[in-house]
Copies of this chain bind each other. A is one copy, B any other.
Amino acid sequence: MRGGPARVLETLRRADGRSCSGETLSRAEGVSRAQVWKHIETLRALGYDIEACAGEGYRLTRTPDRLYPEEILAGLATRWLAREIHWFDETDSTNRVALELARSGAPHGTTVIAESQTAGRGRLGRSFFSPPHLNLYTSIVLRPTLTTASAPTWILAAATACAETIDGYCAPGEVEIKWPNDVLLRGSKTSGILMELAAEATQVSFLVLGIGINLNVDRGDLPDEFRAHATSLSSHLHAPVDRIAFASSLYLQLEGVLDACAERGFDAVRTRFERFFRMRGREVRVLEIDGGETAGRAVGIDPDGALRIRTAAGREKRVIAGDVTLAKGNA
């Protein structure tokens, strides 16, 4: 939405539930009453409930449950993140769109949001279940001055922002980060991160950070293969989540951790990350990308984001990229 309808919406929103006369709207817009009516119809088609009372004018009674850029921007306190939002009712994958935007020169912070994804992607080529109008699927173009070797720490930083945002809705101790990029709610996955990047040798050209968070999908509606290990924030809270408010907080939180990382490296957000890192001392099993498998006790996170594991033989091993299974019941 741009231009007239966006400006009419803005005026109605500022009226804060009171009516605006067609006269006021047409004067504010500098357009005819007929044109105002056309804009109102456009807004209604987008799902806005707008009452027309004879003699009183128009009144905004309900905003739709859609992650429209105007809705998010209205409550967004960021400086550079998500100041430009590309919204889709449906797309194949927000990361795919963001990568294409990045390649065409989209600036730092450009954000893609989709209400649903037909080919939502998770890590290691997995799919990400993306039903419409319930969750948050978003990808952000980033252009930091960063070496490829440091890039993985940005996943940990992003996971920290997701965990902190979810934590704001939960009781202490319920949220945890499963290295490197999953956020768990009482042990069940609610959020995943997929970072993709383009680099020239050792220097990152751009990153795309894709974040998928189960907000209002019902746990019972998750596909069989996910249900046992996944949940949603609303299923956890037994109450629906305002997706727009959630997205705005997440973007603000994310901007903060990424700015800190860009200025002073991962060390700057390490304490915040460690608040949600409860794997230390637990038995884990890691499937590495080269097909190898390591089992042992998680010891900690190295400055470059690698997971340190002590094997049964007492040897310490660093895992840079891999897929972790937590042994149950030894937290």
Contact surface of A with B, Cβ cutoff 8 Å: 123-124, 145, 147-149, 151-152, 155, 180-181, 194-203, 205, 289-290, 304-305, 320-321
| CB <8 Å contact, B148 and A197 | yes
Q: Are A321 and B202 in contact (CB under 8 A)?
A: yes
For A148, give its contact among B124, B180, B181, B199 (CB under 8 Å): B199
Residue in B closest to A201 when the chains form the complex, CB atoms:
B195
Q: 19 interchain pairs (CB within 8 A)?
A: A123-B200, A123-B201, A124-B200, A147-B321, A148-B149, A148-B197, A148-B199, A149-B149, A151-B201, A152-B202, A155-B201, A180-B201, A180-B202, A194-B201, A195-B200, A196-B200, A197-B198, A197-B201, A202-B321
**Interface centre among A149, A194, A196, A320, by most B CB within 10 Å?**
A149
Looking at chain A's contact residues, the main secondary structure is: mixed
* B200 adjacent to A145 (CB under 8 Å): no
Known: A145-B290, A151-B199, A151-B201. 4 other contacts (CB 8 A): A124-B203, A147-B321, A149-B152, A152-B202
Q: Say how far A32's CB is from chain B's closest CB, in angstroms.
A: 49
Q: Kindly state the separation between the CA atoms of A145 and B194 in the bound complex, as whole angstroms.
A: 18
- Is the CB–CB distance between A320 and B198 below 8 Å? no
- Residues of the B chain whose Cβ atoms lie less than 8 Å from the Cβ of A198: 196-199
- Give the nearest-CB partner of A149 in chain B: B149
Nearest CB to that of A209 among chain B residues?
B201
Q: Which residues of B contact A304 (CB under 8 A)?
A: 149
CB neighbours (8 Å) of A152 from chain B are 148-149, 201-202
A251 to chain B, nearest CB (A): 21
Bound-complex Cα distance A202 to B124 (A): 11
Residues of chain B lying within 8 A (CB to CB) of residue A203: 124, 289, 321
